[in-house]
Amino acid sequence: MPWKKRIGELPLHLMILPGLILIVLYSYGPMFGFIIAFQKFIPARGFFDSKWAGLDNFRYLLEMPESRRIVVNTVSIALMKIAAGLIAPIVTALLLNEVRKEAFKRGIQTVIYLPHFLSWIILGGILIDILSPTSGIVNQALGWVGIDAIYFLGDNDWFRYTLVATDTWKEFGFSTIVYLAALTGIDPTLYEAAVVDGAGRWKQTLHVTLPGMSAIIILLMTLSLGNVLNAGFDQVFNLYSPQVYESGDIIDTFVYRIGLVDAQYGVATAVGVFKSVVSLVFISTSYYLAYRLANYRIF
Protein backbone atom coordinates (compact mmCIF):
# COMPACT_ATOMS: atom_id res chain seq x y z
CA MET A 1 0.00 0.00 0.00
CA PRO A 2 1.32 3.52 -0.84
CA TRP A 3 1.03 4.90 2.71
CA LYS A 4 2.94 1.92 4.16
CA LYS A 5 5.65 2.37 1.53
CA ARG A 6 5.96 6.06 2.41
CA ILE A 7 6.28 5.26 6.11
CA GLY A 8 8.96 2.71 5.29
CA GLU A 9 10.90 5.35 3.35
CA LEU A 10 10.68 7.89 6.19
CA PRO A 11 14.10 6.97 7.69
CA LEU A 12 15.71 7.61 4.30
CA HIS A 13 14.16 11.07 4.13
CA LEU A 14 15.27 11.80 7.69
CA MET A 15 18.84 10.93 6.67
CA ILE A 16 18.66 13.67 4.04
CA LEU A 17 17.36 16.24 6.53
CA PRO A 18 20.75 17.31 8.07
CA GLY A 19 22.26 17.92 4.64
CA LEU A 20 19.15 19.80 3.55
CA ILE A 21 19.35 22.04 6.63
CA LEU A 22 23.02 22.82 5.90
CA ILE A 23 22.21 23.70 2.28
CA VAL A 24 19.42 26.05 3.38
CA LEU A 25 21.60 27.74 6.00
CA TYR A 26 24.82 28.11 4.01
CA SER A 27 23.68 28.17 0.35
CA TYR A 28 20.20 29.66 0.20
CA GLY A 29 20.24 31.78 3.36
CA PRO A 30 23.18 34.00 2.28
CA MET A 31 21.40 34.78 -1.02
CA PHE A 32 19.45 37.44 0.87
CA GLY A 33 22.75 39.32 1.07
CA PHE A 34 22.63 39.94 -2.70
CA ILE A 35 20.66 43.06 -1.85
CA ILE A 36 23.94 44.64 -0.71
CA ALA A 37 24.98 44.86 -4.37
CA PHE A 38 22.24 47.45 -4.89
CA GLN A 39 22.88 49.47 -1.72
CA LYS A 40 25.42 51.80 -0.17
CA PHE A 41 25.74 49.24 2.55
CA ILE A 42 26.85 50.30 6.02
CA PRO A 43 27.16 47.37 8.47
CA ALA A 44 26.03 49.50 11.43
CA ARG A 45 22.74 50.27 9.65
CA GLY A 46 22.08 46.78 8.25
CA PHE A 47 20.09 45.82 5.17
CA PHE A 48 16.99 47.84 5.91
CA ASP A 49 18.50 51.22 6.81
CA SER A 50 21.28 51.37 4.19
CA LYS A 51 20.62 53.71 1.25
CA TRP A 52 19.47 52.24 -2.06
CA ALA A 53 22.06 52.70 -4.83
CA GLY A 54 20.43 50.88 -7.72
CA LEU A 55 23.01 49.94 -10.34
CA ASP A 56 25.61 52.46 -9.14
CA ASN A 57 27.88 49.72 -7.76
CA PHE A 58 27.83 47.92 -11.09
CA ARG A 59 28.59 51.14 -12.99
CA TYR A 60 31.48 51.87 -10.63
CA LEU A 61 32.76 48.34 -11.17
CA LEU A 62 32.69 48.64 -14.96
CA GLU A 63 34.42 52.01 -14.86
CA MET A 64 37.31 50.79 -12.73
CA PRO A 65 40.49 50.67 -14.86
CA GLU A 66 41.57 47.27 -13.51
CA SER A 67 38.23 45.52 -14.09
CA ARG A 68 39.04 44.29 -17.60
CA ARG A 69 42.48 43.07 -16.55
CA ILE A 70 41.06 41.13 -13.60
CA VAL A 71 38.45 39.38 -15.76
CA VAL A 72 41.08 38.50 -18.39
CA ASN A 73 43.39 37.13 -15.69
CA THR A 74 40.61 35.05 -14.17
CA VAL A 75 39.39 33.55 -17.44
CA SER A 76 42.87 32.85 -18.83
CA ILE A 77 44.11 31.18 -15.62
CA ALA A 78 40.89 29.17 -15.24
CA LEU A 79 40.92 27.96 -18.86
CA MET A 80 44.56 26.89 -18.62
CA LYS A 81 43.79 25.03 -15.40
CA ILE A 82 40.78 23.31 -16.99
CA ALA A 83 42.83 22.21 -20.01
CA ALA A 84 45.77 20.98 -17.93
CA GLY A 85 43.39 19.39 -15.43
CA LEU A 86 41.85 17.31 -18.22
CA ILE A 87 44.95 16.36 -20.20
CA ALA A 88 47.31 15.43 -17.32
CA PRO A 89 45.05 12.90 -15.57
CA ILE A 90 43.88 11.32 -18.82
CA VAL A 91 47.46 10.75 -19.97
CA THR A 92 48.47 9.50 -16.52
CA ALA A 93 45.50 7.11 -16.37
CA LEU A 94 46.35 5.71 -19.80
CA LEU A 95 49.97 5.18 -18.78
CA LEU A 96 49.05 3.55 -15.47
CA ASN A 97 46.60 1.32 -17.30
CA GLU A 98 49.57 -0.18 -19.15
CA VAL A 99 51.41 -1.05 -15.92
CA ARG A 100 51.09 -4.73 -15.12
CA LYS A 101 52.71 -4.81 -11.65
CA GLU A 102 49.87 -3.97 -9.27
CA ALA A 103 52.14 -3.04 -6.35
CA PHE A 104 54.03 -0.49 -8.45
CA LYS A 105 50.80 0.82 -9.94
CA ARG A 106 49.18 1.34 -6.54
CA GLY A 107 52.31 2.96 -5.20
CA ILE A 108 52.30 5.52 -8.02
CA GLN A 109 48.59 6.18 -7.46
CA THR A 110 49.21 6.87 -3.77
CA VAL A 111 52.11 9.23 -4.42
CA ILE A 112 50.29 11.35 -7.01
CA TYR A 113 47.11 11.41 -4.91
CA LEU A 114 48.72 12.67 -1.68
CA PRO A 115 49.00 16.40 -2.64
CA HIS A 116 45.20 16.51 -3.02
CA PHE A 117 44.88 16.27 0.78
CA LEU A 118 47.22 19.18 1.52
CA SER A 119 45.79 22.68 1.87
CA TRP A 120 47.16 25.61 -0.10
CA ILE A 121 48.34 27.18 3.16
CA ILE A 122 50.77 24.28 3.59
CA LEU A 123 51.63 24.01 -0.09
CA GLY A 124 52.02 27.78 -0.38
CA GLY A 125 54.80 27.78 2.21
CA ILE A 126 56.47 24.79 0.57
CA LEU A 127 56.33 26.33 -2.90
CA ILE A 128 57.64 29.69 -1.71
CA ASP A 129 60.67 27.86 -0.34
CA ILE A 130 61.42 25.54 -3.26
CA LEU A 131 60.76 28.24 -5.91
CA SER A 132 62.82 30.94 -4.16
CA PRO A 133 65.18 32.65 -6.67
CA THR A 134 68.03 32.58 -4.16
CA SER A 135 67.76 29.41 -2.08
CA GLY A 136 65.05 27.36 -3.78
CA ILE A 137 65.99 23.90 -4.98
CA VAL A 138 64.40 24.49 -8.40
CA ASN A 139 66.55 27.51 -9.19
CA GLN A 140 69.61 25.77 -7.79
CA ALA A 141 69.00 22.94 -10.24
CA LEU A 142 68.59 25.45 -13.06
CA GLY A 143 71.88 27.04 -12.06
CA TRP A 144 73.66 23.68 -12.38
CA VAL A 145 72.74 23.59 -16.10
CA GLY A 146 73.64 27.23 -16.70
CA ILE A 147 70.16 28.81 -16.58
CA ASP A 148 69.70 32.07 -14.69
CA ALA A 149 67.43 32.08 -11.64
CA ILE A 150 63.73 32.60 -12.37
CA TYR A 151 61.45 34.48 -9.97
CA PHE A 152 58.47 32.16 -10.46
CA LEU A 153 56.25 33.88 -7.89
CA GLY A 154 57.35 37.46 -8.55
CA ASP A 155 57.62 37.68 -12.35
CA ASN A 156 54.47 38.46 -14.33
CA ASP A 157 55.77 36.42 -17.28
CA TRP A 158 55.97 33.28 -15.15
CA PHE A 159 53.33 33.62 -12.44
CA ARG A 160 50.30 32.35 -14.40
CA TYR A 161 52.14 29.27 -15.61
CA THR A 162 53.37 28.60 -12.09
CA LEU A 163 49.78 28.71 -10.84
CA VAL A 164 48.63 26.29 -13.53
CA ALA A 165 51.54 23.88 -13.05
CA THR A 166 51.25 23.74 -9.25
CA ASP A 167 47.45 23.40 -9.33
CA THR A 168 47.69 20.55 -11.84
CA TRP A 169 50.35 18.83 -9.72
CA LYS A 170 48.10 19.08 -6.65
CA GLU A 171 44.85 17.89 -8.19
CA PHE A 172 45.57 15.59 -11.15
CA GLY A 173 45.98 12.54 -8.90
CA PHE A 174 42.33 12.71 -7.84
CA SER A 175 41.07 12.93 -11.42
CA THR A 176 43.42 10.11 -12.45
CA ILE A 177 41.65 7.76 -10.03
CA VAL A 178 38.31 8.76 -11.56
CA TYR A 179 39.58 7.94 -15.06
CA LEU A 180 41.10 4.65 -13.87
CA ALA A 181 37.71 3.72 -12.47
CA ALA A 182 36.17 4.52 -15.86
CA LEU A 183 38.71 2.22 -17.53
CA THR A 184 37.51 -0.73 -15.44
CA GLY A 185 34.07 -0.35 -17.01
CA ILE A 186 35.29 -0.96 -20.57
CA ASP A 187 34.26 -4.35 -21.94
CA PRO A 188 37.41 -6.56 -22.24
CA THR A 189 35.97 -8.27 -25.30
CA LEU A 190 36.43 -5.01 -27.21
CA TYR A 191 40.19 -5.30 -26.71
CA GLU A 192 40.09 -8.94 -27.77
CA ALA A 193 38.24 -7.99 -30.95
CA ALA A 194 40.75 -5.22 -31.61
CA VAL A 195 43.65 -7.66 -31.24
CA VAL A 196 41.97 -10.05 -33.70
CA ASP A 197 41.70 -7.16 -36.15
CA GLY A 198 45.45 -6.56 -35.78
CA ALA A 199 45.29 -3.41 -33.61
CA GLY A 200 48.35 -2.66 -31.48
CA ARG A 201 48.31 -0.93 -28.09
CA TRP A 202 48.21 2.54 -29.67
CA LYS A 203 45.27 1.65 -31.93
CA GLN A 204 43.48 0.04 -29.01
CA THR A 205 43.92 3.23 -27.01
CA LEU A 206 42.54 5.39 -29.83
CA HIS A 207 39.61 3.20 -30.84
CA VAL A 208 38.65 1.39 -27.62
CA THR A 209 40.04 3.05 -24.50
CA LEU A 210 39.38 6.72 -25.28
CA PRO A 211 35.84 6.12 -26.62
CA GLY A 212 35.14 4.05 -23.51
CA MET A 213 36.25 6.96 -21.34
CA SER A 214 34.36 9.57 -23.34
CA ALA A 215 31.35 9.71 -20.99
CA ILE A 216 33.39 10.53 -17.88
CA ILE A 217 35.61 12.93 -19.86
CA ILE A 218 32.53 14.84 -21.05
CA LEU A 219 31.10 14.83 -17.52
CA LEU A 220 34.24 16.26 -15.88
CA MET A 221 34.77 18.74 -18.71
CA THR A 222 31.16 19.88 -18.42
CA LEU A 223 31.41 20.36 -14.68
CA SER A 224 34.71 22.23 -15.02
CA LEU A 225 33.24 24.76 -17.45
CA GLY A 226 31.17 26.14 -14.59
CA ASN A 227 34.44 27.22 -12.96
CA VAL A 228 35.59 29.49 -15.78
CA LEU A 229 35.36 32.47 -13.40
CA ASN A 230 36.79 30.53 -10.47
CA ALA A 231 40.57 30.51 -10.87
CA GLY A 232 41.28 29.31 -7.32
CA PHE A 233 41.22 31.87 -4.52
CA ASP A 234 43.06 29.69 -1.97
CA GLN A 235 46.00 29.11 -4.27
CA VAL A 236 46.33 32.62 -5.65
CA PHE A 237 45.87 34.28 -2.26
CA ASN A 238 48.67 32.21 -0.73
CA LEU A 239 51.11 32.68 -3.63
CA TYR A 240 50.56 36.13 -5.09
CA SER A 241 51.97 39.52 -4.10
CA PRO A 242 51.55 43.12 -5.33
CA GLN A 243 54.39 42.45 -7.79
CA VAL A 244 52.20 40.07 -9.81
CA TYR A 245 48.81 41.78 -9.54
CA GLU A 246 49.11 42.54 -13.26
CA SER A 247 49.05 38.85 -14.23
CA GLY A 248 47.71 37.06 -11.16
CA ASP A 249 44.99 39.21 -9.62
CA ILE A 250 41.66 37.40 -10.10
CA ILE A 251 38.05 38.22 -9.30
CA ASP A 252 38.05 36.47 -5.92
CA THR A 253 41.21 38.16 -4.64
CA PHE A 254 39.91 41.49 -5.92
CA VAL A 255 36.64 40.95 -4.00
CA TYR A 256 38.64 40.13 -0.87
CA ARG A 257 40.68 43.33 -1.07
CA ILE A 258 37.88 45.67 -2.05
CA GLY A 259 35.34 44.14 0.33
CA LEU A 260 37.20 43.09 3.47
CA VAL A 261 40.27 45.34 3.26
CA ASP A 262 38.77 48.52 1.76
CA ALA A 263 35.28 47.93 3.26
CA GLN A 264 33.47 48.64 -0.04
CA TYR A 265 30.85 46.00 0.63
CA GLY A 266 28.40 47.07 -2.06
CA VAL A 267 30.96 46.96 -4.87
CA ALA A 268 32.39 43.64 -3.65
CA THR A 269 28.90 42.10 -3.57
CA ALA A 270 28.22 43.46 -7.07
CA VAL A 271 31.32 41.64 -8.30
CA GLY A 272 30.09 38.45 -6.65
CA VAL A 273 26.65 38.76 -8.26
CA PHE A 274 28.24 39.36 -11.67
CA LYS A 275 30.44 36.28 -11.23
CA SER A 276 27.52 34.11 -10.13
CA VAL A 277 25.35 35.12 -13.09
CA VAL A 278 28.11 34.51 -15.64
CA SER A 279 28.98 31.15 -14.04
CA LEU A 280 25.31 30.12 -14.22
CA VAL A 281 25.27 30.93 -17.93
CA PHE A 282 28.46 28.94 -18.51
CA ILE A 283 27.32 25.83 -16.64
CA SER A 284 23.87 25.91 -18.28
CA THR A 285 25.48 26.22 -21.72
CA SER A 286 27.92 23.40 -20.98
CA TYR A 287 25.10 21.05 -19.94
CA TYR A 288 23.22 21.87 -23.13
CA LEU A 289 26.29 21.28 -25.31
CA ALA A 290 27.03 17.98 -23.57
CA TYR A 291 23.51 16.80 -24.37
CA ARG A 292 23.51 18.07 -27.96
CA LEU A 293 27.01 16.97 -28.96
CA ALA A 294 27.43 13.74 -26.98
CA ASN A 295 23.85 12.82 -26.03
CA TYR A 296 24.96 12.84 -22.40
CA ARG A 297 22.74 14.07 -19.60
CA ILE A 298 23.70 14.48 -15.96
CA PHE A 299 20.11 14.91 -14.82
H/E stretch holding 49 reads helix 46-49
Residue 165 is predicted with a pLDDT of 92
User: Running DSSP on this structure, what letter comes out for residue 39?
Assistant: E
The parts of the chain modelled with pLDDT lower than 70 are 1-6, 293-299
| Homologous superfamily of the 65-294 domain (CATH) | MetI-like (1.10.3720.10)
Q: How far apart are CA 190 and CA 193, in angstroms?
A: 5
Q: What is the pLDDT of residue 261?
A: 81
Residue among 179, 174, 172, 180 nearest 84 (CA): 172
Domain range annotation of the chain = 1-29, 65-294
- Closest Cα to residue 229, out of 103, 71, 108? 71
